[in-house]
Amino acid sequence: MHTKIHPASHVQIGWVIAADVRDPHILQAYKVASERLQTTLTEQFPQFVWEVVYVHRHRYAPKGALNPLPLLELGTQEKIHNGWDYALVVVPNDLEPRDRILTIGVPSSALETAVLSSAHLGHAGQLADRLVGLALHLLGHLWGLEHETEGPMHPPENPTDLTITQFPAPQKTIVIDRLEEVADKRLEEQSQQWHWIIFQWRAFRADSRSILVDILGYSPWLLPFQMGRLTAATAVSLVFLLLAAESWEIGVNIPPTGLLMGTIIAILLATFFIFTGQNLGQISREIGWREQLSRTRIVVFGTLLLGMVALWFVLFVVSFLVASILPNGIVAGWVGQNKLDSRLLINHAAFMAIIGVLAGALGGNLEDEDEIKAELFYDEET
Ligand SMILES: [Zn+2]
């Protein structure tokens, strides 16, 4: 491990050029931008010692559009390897957009890393300042700031509008709080001998509030709707089960405690399955349990966990509604009763939701890995 321990008030940002850029004007602008970013942050947040570390990795050809995900992963690896607090990955290439027509940057507060494209920021003269303006906007997202009508958090409608501006006072306060919290509570590197769970728990305790804010920021309850194939897999399995007499027989006969246990186990299993199956926990394999990486893992795991709880709830409601409109007499006949009361319908709906969550986990693993990662890691496309 090459991680350095630096004083609490010290904030290090890696400025990683990820493409094989040869144009001396562009390289010069990148260098100037890194220095200007350091100066700007020092002026705006003098309570911290800022260091922007310039690094050139010739990983990609400087032509064609790049997928931001591998760039985020590259930045995260560099960040952890070098012990930086944040990483900004800069490329001259276009970025492949997902939802927007054009994207010039992708911040990921989960990874504490952002990607910047200089493709639409013009040439030489203003390039450096615009890059700094974009870097401030993306750092703002990494620090949990919302969009504002003025200052760096004003969404850049046009890439050429970007300039260096001051964060408004209320946002400065948020940033300072956030940075102090992170600095205060960063765990020491004495973790190797600790048990895995204890370490994750300590990492969570150390920073629980901002971890929870991050998790909720992903709106995990929308996850079932964002993962098309996962939801389709569950829907198919449920339609078959709702029309199968056996499923009714089992469903109405499991005691509530059994259903509760089943629900907890299914949600945990599904979360573990998607988490490991998607390599979401392996963003950076060889690094060990560093606190920052742990934090990222916890945020991703927590988001998936709440996503699975949401999936269970959605399936429960759907099963209950569908079961209520099935002819009561026929279904009651399947389970050897005269009439199905709502308690039995609830029982069965819970059983269906358990099966659905497990089926969904299988479907989720078929999902394009990039889809889920982008869903979890992108704060936005700038
Ligand atoms: Zn933004």
User: Model confidence over 212-247: pLDDT tens digits?
Assistant: 888 888 788 887 777 776 777 777 778 777 888 888
pLDDT band, very low/low/confident/very high, at 4 (cuts 50, 70, 90): very low
How many whole angstroms from 157 Cα to the centroid of ligand 1? 10
Q: What is residue 379's predicted lDDT score, i.e. its pLDDT?
A: 81
Are 231 and 151 within one domain?
A: no
Residue 286 lies in a domain: yes
Q: Is 329 helix (H, G, I), strand (E, B) or coil?
A: helix
pLDDT band, very low/low/confident/very high, at 128 (cuts 50, 70, 90): very high
In this predicted model, which residue has the larger pLDDT, 337 or 72? Answer: 72
pLDDT surpasses 70 at 41? yes
Are 142 and 235 within one domain?
A: no
Which residue do the tokens 């490329």 mark?
A: 91
**Model confidence over 136-173: pLDDT tens digits?**
999 999 998 999 999 999 998 888 889 999 999 999 99
Residue 248 lies in a domain: yes
How many whole angstroms from 140 Cα to the centroid of ligand 1? 8
Residue 30 lies in a domain: yes
Q: Which residues surround ligand 1, an ion (CB under 5 A)?
A: 382
pLDDT band, very low/low/confident/very high, at 364 (cuts 50, 70, 90): low
**Distant-in-sequence, close-in-space partners of 42: CB < 8 Å, separation ≥ 6:** 49, 50
C-alpha distances (whole Å) from 33 to each of 28, 86, 88 are: 8, 16, 12
Are 208 and 167 within one domain?
A: no
Are 213 and 337 within one domain?
A: yes
Domain extent for 154: 10-182
Q: What is residue 188's predicted lDDT score, i.e. its pLDDT?
A: 47
Residue 253 lies in a domain: yes
CATH of the domain at 97: 3.40.390.10
> Taking residues 62-80, what's their average pLDDT?
91
In this predicted model, which residue has the larger pLDDT, 104 or 338? Answer: 104
> Taking residues 87-101, what's their average pLDDT?
94
Are 30 and 169 within one domain?
A: yes
Residue 5 lies in a domain: no
Mean of the per-residue pLDDT values of the chain? 83
How many whole angstroms from 207 Cα to the centroid of ligand 1? 24
Are 20 and 168 within one domain?
A: yes
pLDDT band, very low/low/confident/very high, at 259 (cuts 50, 70, 90): very high
Are 206 and 332 within one domain?
A: yes
pLDDT surpasses 80 at 350? yes
How many whole angstroms from 137 Cα to the centroid of ligand 1? 6
Q: What is residue 367's predicted lDDT score, i.e. its pLDDT?
A: 57
Residue 1 lies in a domain: no
Are 178 and 201 within one domain?
A: no
Are 36 and 178 within one domain?
A: yes
Residue 189 lies in a domain: no
How many whole angstroms from 231 Cα to the centroid of ligand 1? 29
Q: What is residue 191's predicted lDDT score, i.e. its pLDDT?
A: 46
**Per the structure, how many domains does the chain have?**
2
How many whole angstroms from 160 Cα to the centroid of ligand 1? 15
What share of the chain in percent tops pLDDT 70? 86
Residue 255 lies in a domain: yes
**Distant-in-sequence, close-in-space partners of 360: CB < 8 Å, separation ≥ 6:** 224, 230, 231, 233, 234, 270, 308, 311, 315
Q: What is residue 224's predicted lDDT score, i.e. its pLDDT?
A: 79
How many whole angstroms from 382 Cα to the centroid of ligand 1? 5
pLDDT band, very low/low/confident/very high, at 339 (cuts 50, 70, 90): confident
Q: What is the pTM of this model?
A: 0.69
Beta bridge pairs of residue 56: 17
Q: Is 194 helix (H, G, I), strand (E, B) or coil?
A: coil
How many whole angstroms from 363 Cα to the centroid of ligand 1? 32
How many whole angstroms from 104 Cα to the centroid of ligand 1? 11
